[in-house]
Amino acid sequence: MLKALVLLFLTWVCFLFYAGIALFTSGFLLTRLELTNHSNCQELPGKGPLVGGGRGEPGACWTAPRFSRAVVVLIDALRFDFVQPWPGGLPAPQPFLGRLGSIHRLLEAQPQHARLYRFLADPPTTTMQRLKALTTGSLPTFIDAGSNFASYAIEEDNLIAQLNNTGKRVVFMGDDTWEGLFPGAFSQAFFFPSFNVKDLHTVDNGILEHLYPTMDRDDWDLLIAHFLGVDHCGHKHGPHHPEMVKKLNQMDQMLQTLVERLDNDTLLVVAGDHGMTETGDHGGDSKPEVTAALFLYSPLPLFPKAPLEDPEVVPQVNLVPTLALLLGLPIPFGNIGEVMMDLFSGEGDAQPLATSLAQAFAYHLNAQQVSRFLHAYSLAAQDLPLEELQRLQNLFSSASSDYKRLLDQLKTDEVREADIQALISQLRLFLRGARTACTETWARFRPARMIGGTVLLTSTCLLCLVTSGLTSSPDFPFHSLLLRSVAWGLAGTTLLAGGLMAIGTKLELALLCAGGSASSLLAFLWALKSRGRPTMTAFLPGPLPILVLLFLRSAALFSDSFILAEAQVAPFLLRSLSLFLVARLQWEGRLLVGGPPTPCLSSPTASSTRREGPQALGLLMGLLLCVRLSSLFHRCPEETPMCQSSPWLAPLASVTGGQVKNLWYGACLGALGVLVLSVRFWLRRCGNLNSPAPPVLFVRWGLPLMALGTAAHWALSSGSAEAPPRLQALVSGAVAGLPRAVLGLAAVGLGLLLWQPVTVLVKTGANSPSPIVVPFVGPPASQADLDYVVPQIYRRMQAALRGKLAGDGGQTPLALAAYGLGSVYSAAVVTVLALLAFPLLLLHTERISLAFLILFLQSFLLLQLLATAVGTPARSPGPFSVPWLAISAWALTATQTFYSTGHQPVFPAIHWNAAFVGFPEGHGSSPVLPALLVGANTFASHLLFSVGCPLLLLWPFVCEGQCSMKKKSLASGAEVEVEKEEEPLMEMRLRDAPHHFNTALLQLGLKYLFILGVQVLACVLAASILRRHLMVWKVFAPKFIFEAVGFGVSSLALLLGLALVMWVDRAVGSWFKQLILSQER
Ligand SMILES: [Zn+2]
């Protein structure tokens, strides 16, 4: 099997994964562009004169305020039927129905003062999204592109901002989500923690303590109280529980007291942000979730006539323009809601005509604002359908000219009531059309796509599993299978594109890729099936413990608490896995007493076998210690207030006290030094630091230089404030230049390594060497010749070397010695890892370098332990395979490192400062470079571990060399004979069997992709099954995004790592060819 084919096959598998993720994302992640335009008092939303408005009156903006103050009582998850009076005085069939008696009494006693509505929330019905909608009047989606990911703060125009702009004072009490959404916006605020759903009373009791005293004061214009008890009771017990009745009674009592204290100029708004299902959940779009209650009341008459029998349905966003105009504020720029007509009657017992005119005026102002928003939005984003926009535009123009005509008529003669009503219905048609267009574009899950994406991901995981099992059979026809699949995929894409164009749908990349992937996957699976059906158990990923581990790991992604605690879960699983490894050694009797021969120490003598126990135990201890130490750099998720983030994540510049700072700086320098020295030490020990090849020279001189650059950068950036003024320019220049220099050096090193990847020193002996015994005359003609010859040369070199070591150089003439040939692949991989580590290190804060050191040490120990415990494959040439256990441990270490370098899978936890490393002045307008820098910082662990993945295959071979080296020093004269037959071929054993080498690389890639793919799949399933969960947009969706992007980074890095090994292999091949040619002469 060709090497290129292996890479192509893996690339195809990655593409299948990407297509599945893209399809799921396009159905799950709702997106919308966020505009930062704000409305203001001075500027009306459109042309045209004002009637009935109060411009020029004190405190008035677009209109005169009808109320000077308002109290908004938000009862989280207040479903409509919790409030609706049960008809005819009958007892309600469920105790929680129609529980708010104070509202019933007001509705009956003062029909013109009070009204109850069905308050229709748009999905996603999660609290944060609803709060955004209730203040901006828009339809927040999960990704409001353009918003600041570093915080949840609302940057769009909203009611609270408008109140602040006009100098009104807002007092808030309740759910602390508001603190993140509106930082610093309240004149007085009492926040209470919202995260603990089990806690029904802290927030509510906290509010009740402050509510009445605040009501009695007059230092506020808007009072917001957000109660959480009903919602938490739903999540904990569901609505049917007796606790719910108690909670609703408490709310009823509160409203009763509140109404008694209400002033005449104050409007009371009681609303639920969403409803709940029969099990108490919310987040989706079912009727009980979207139907909340809205109740309006004022001590003065509010409505011209008594309410209808059945309460009117009011979309949630409609409250925003209504409240804005009632309080005399401009309507927020991005509002797409429609004013509530009833509330815009003339004062008191006004004439019908005046009422209609006031309503037409409010509607027209509202329509102008929405039209202005649609115009601005469609200029910035293209996602709204064009024909619909055009239709709405025409509708608005005609309504506007009608409105103007009406105003002209008003000056001269009588206006007919019917004309005004016609105009109102026209404006209303426009407003509803606009809202529908936005809803359809922004706020709808597409279940078909979500299911399609999940199915595609599942089947690709299966494909990885099955194929990794089948690769070991040598006659497996990858070539034809791959060709057939790709051909089918292309055909499928073309067909789909044709079909979509025929029905006039827009071509979407995600859809096309998914179509192509599905058809190529089907073709592949069909071909597999026609080859006969092997038993499924043959393909199970490894032994039972691995299955349990994989299951636990995936199941943990279904729980928000476990995702928040993943930083502890991953190390725990890793510790368990390494303990299992050592325990298994004990079961197999290899830990303490002599047992069957181990592959690493191949001599079955008791003296050498016994040594494995202490070594394995030592490695285990070291590994456990490293795992423990790395948790010192943990960062806490925001949702766990008890947890304390490590203070070591802060940059050194923030450390006060020169002594402490210097100590820390010294420690970081130490970490750098140890990192460089250990890489060099390892390479020297393997013999890869001897040759004069350019990459070797680079490791000798370039790596220390990179460390020096890093150290200088840290010193300057952490102490730049203390530099004398005349050196400031120099220092800031160096702060910008040094990281770029280190990156440049890394690039140079990488280039050199790719140019000459064979870091082997060849020594020719003084005596004229006898020619190598080649069974073929002349230089090797074909690849097969070469493959046959290479091990022979290698053995010969080994023999010559050993002859020299044993001091009997006379008997075996020293022909050739190649140092470092046995570890030539892993030397290249380790060098690349070291080259990558320094730029990545610079993107983190200084003290993370200690975490990086621990990470390198830990992976080294893990590799050693795996090599000891799992052992090398049989001494026969192939097939080689990396056990599932090793791959699972590697993937777990990658996850653990993500957390132990101070990351968390939520947007506010991203290290945004990384974008300014090397660019202290910022980047101008292009977002590509900062995104790359921040991405490299966030996914550093994914990158390093995936590039280093081939080490899992190579390390046992390297270990073989170390073992034999150790043994050699122990060997007595009697054992020399035995050793002669056991030359450590090390990594050359892989070259010995090129077919098995390729297969092993393919299998390694497939297995790693499977493990990563299962993690993504678990996140996908969790996000779609739990899309009604309280935490979906706060925990599950961000976790899915991080996991999906991490998969992308990991898979690309994996392909690069494998390609690197293949590249080195190619170079080794041509190196041998040259060697043989030179021997021929
Ligand atoms: Zn809520």
CB 1061 within 8 A of CB 950: yes
Q: What distance in angstroms lies between residue 1028's CA and the mean position of ligand 1's atoms? A: 12
In whole angstroms, what is the distance from residue 729 CA to residue 803 CA?
A: 62
In whole angstroms, what is the distance from residue 178 CA to residue 744 CA?
A: 46
Nearest to 1062, CA basis, from 754, 693, 820:
754
In whole angstroms, what is the distance from residue 540 CA to residue 776 CA?
A: 45
**Residue 613, both tokens:** 């126990």
Q: What distance in angstroms lies between residue 365's CA and the mean position of ligand 1's atoms? A: 31
Q: Which residue has the tokens 């504020």?
A: 329
Q: What distance in angstroms lies between residue 282's CA and the mean position of ligand 1's atoms? A: 8
Q: What distance in angstroms lies between residue 294's CA and the mean position of ligand 1's atoms? A: 14
Q: What distance in angstroms lies between residue 563's CA and the mean position of ligand 1's atoms? A: 21
Element (H, E) at 69: strand 69-75
Q: What distance in angstroms lies between residue 377's CA and the mean position of ligand 1's atoms? A: 28
What's the pLDDT at 772?
41
Residues 6+ apart with CB under 8 A from 85: 98, 103, 104, 107
Q: What distance in angstroms lies between residue 74's CA and the mean position of ligand 1's atoms? A: 9
CA count, 13 A, side-chain hemisphere, 953:
30
Q: What distance in angstroms lies between residue 91's CA and the mean position of ligand 1's atoms? A: 28
**Residue 469, both tokens:** 């099992």
154 to 34, 644, 797, 915, 992: CA distances (angstroms) = 10, 27, 70, 23, 63
Q: Which residue has the tokens 């808030």?
A: 172
Q: What distance in angstroms lies between residue 76's CA and the mean position of ligand 1's atoms? A: 5
Q: What distance in angstroms lies between residue 320's CA and the mean position of ligand 1's atoms? A: 18
Q: What distance in angstroms lies between residue 274's CA and the mean position of ligand 1's atoms? A: 6
Q: Which residues of the chain have pLDDT under 50?
A: 51-56, 593-610, 765-781, 804-815, 874, 876, 967-983
In whole angstroms, what is the distance from residue 574 CA to residue 895 CA?
A: 10
What's the pLDDT at 221?
93
Q: What distance in angstroms lies between residue 145's CA and the mean position of ligand 1's atoms? A: 23
Q: What distance in angstroms lies between residue 730's CA and the mean position of ligand 1's atoms? A: 54
Q: What distance in angstroms lies between residue 275's CA and the mean position of ligand 1's atoms? A: 8
What's the pLDDT at 347?
58
Residue 273 backbone zone (phi > 0: left; psi -120 to 50: alpha; other: beta): alpha
Q: What distance in angstroms lies between residue 537's CA and the mean position of ligand 1's atoms? A: 46
Q: What distance in angstroms lies between residue 643's CA and the mean position of ligand 1's atoms? A: 25
Q: What distance in angstroms lies between residue 193's CA and the mean position of ligand 1's atoms? A: 14
Q: What distance in angstroms lies between residue 273's CA and the mean position of ligand 1's atoms? A: 5
Q: What distance in angstroms lies between residue 228's CA and the mean position of ligand 1's atoms? A: 7
* Alpha carbon of residue 344 to chain centroid: 47
| Cα R_g (the chain), whole angstroms | 36
Q: What distance in angstroms lies between residue 214's CA and the mean position of ligand 1's atoms? A: 24
Quick check: pTM over 0.85?
no
508 to 22, 586, 781: CA distances (angstroms) = 11, 56, 51
Q: Which residue has the tokens 């570093």?
A: 150
Q: Which residue has the tokens 């209470």?
A: 192
CB 82 within 8 A of CB 293: yes
Helix 994-1025 and helix 544-556, axial crossing angle in degrees, nearest 10:
40
- 437-471 residues labelled b (16+ CB within 10 A) or e (exposed): bbbebbbebeeebbebbbbbbbbbbebbbbbbbbb
Q: What distance in angstroms lies between residue 226's CA and the mean position of ligand 1's atoms? A: 9
Q: What distance in angstroms lies between residue 77's CA and the mean position of ligand 1's atoms? A: 5
Q: What distance in angstroms lies between residue 243's CA and the mean position of ligand 1's atoms? A: 18
* 3-state class (DSSP) for residue 1017: helix
Q: What distance in angstroms lies between residue 264's CA and the mean position of ligand 1's atoms? A: 30
pLDDT digits (tens, 9 = 90+) for 365-422: 999 999 999 999 988 887 788 888 999 999 999 999 988 888 888 877 777 888 888 9
Q: What distance in angstroms lies between residue 249's CA and the mean position of ligand 1's atoms? A: 19
* DSSP characters over 368-404: HHHHHHHHHHHHH---S-HHHHHHHHHHHHHHHHHHH
What's the pLDDT at 540?
61
In whole angstroms, what is the distance from residue 225 CA to residue 76 CA?
A: 10
**Residue 949, both tokens:** 């993945």
Q: What distance in angstroms lies between residue 654's CA and the mean position of ligand 1's atoms? A: 38
Residues forming beta bridges with residue 173, ordered by sequence position:
190, 225
Q: What distance in angstroms lies between residue 423's CA and the mean position of ligand 1's atoms? A: 37
SS3 content of the chain, % helix, strand, coil (to 5): 60, 5, 30
Q: What distance in angstroms lies between residue 1059's CA and the mean position of ligand 1's atoms? A: 50
Q: Which residue has the tokens 């001269």?
A: 412
Q: What distance in angstroms lies between residue 433's CA and the mean position of ligand 1's atoms? A: 27
47 to 43, 361, 368, 382, 707: CA distances (angstroms) = 10, 13, 8, 26, 64
Q: What distance in angstroms lies between residue 276's CA and the mean position of ligand 1's atoms? A: 9
Q: What distance in angstroms lies between residue 363's CA and the mean position of ligand 1's atoms? A: 30
What's the pLDDT at 925?
62
Q: What distance in angstroms lies between residue 75's CA and the mean position of ligand 1's atoms? A: 8
Q: What distance in angstroms lies between residue 175's CA and the mean position of ligand 1's atoms? A: 10
Q: What distance in angstroms lies between residue 73's CA and the mean position of ligand 1's atoms? A: 13
Q: What distance in angstroms lies between residue 541's CA and the mean position of ligand 1's atoms? A: 42
Q: What distance in angstroms lies between residue 597's CA and the mean position of ligand 1's atoms? A: 64
Q: What distance in angstroms lies between residue 293's CA and the mean position of ligand 1's atoms? A: 13
Q: What distance in angstroms lies between residue 230's CA and the mean position of ligand 1's atoms? A: 9
What's the pLDDT at 777?
33
Q: What distance in angstroms lies between residue 757's CA and the mean position of ligand 1's atoms? A: 59
Burial class (CB in 10 A: 0-12, 13-18, 19+), 287: exposed
CB 290 within 8 A of CB 275: yes
Q: What distance in angstroms lies between residue 883's CA and the mean position of ligand 1's atoms? A: 47
Q: What distance in angstroms lies between residue 1067's CA and the mean position of ligand 1's atoms? A: 62
**Residue 634, both tokens:** 């943990």
Amino acid identity at 249: N
Phi, psi of 764 (to 5 degrees): -100, 135
Starting at the earlier edge strand, list the strands of the sheet with 313-315. Answer: 188-192, 170-175, 222-227, 69-75, 266-271, 291-297, 114-120, 313-315
In whole angstroms, what is the distance from residue 275 CA to residue 668 CA?
A: 53
* CB neighbours of residue 602 within 10 Å: 19
Q: What distance in angstroms lies between residue 224's CA and the mean position of ligand 1's atoms? A: 15
Q: What distance in angstroms lies between residue 229's CA and the mean position of ligand 1's atoms? A: 10
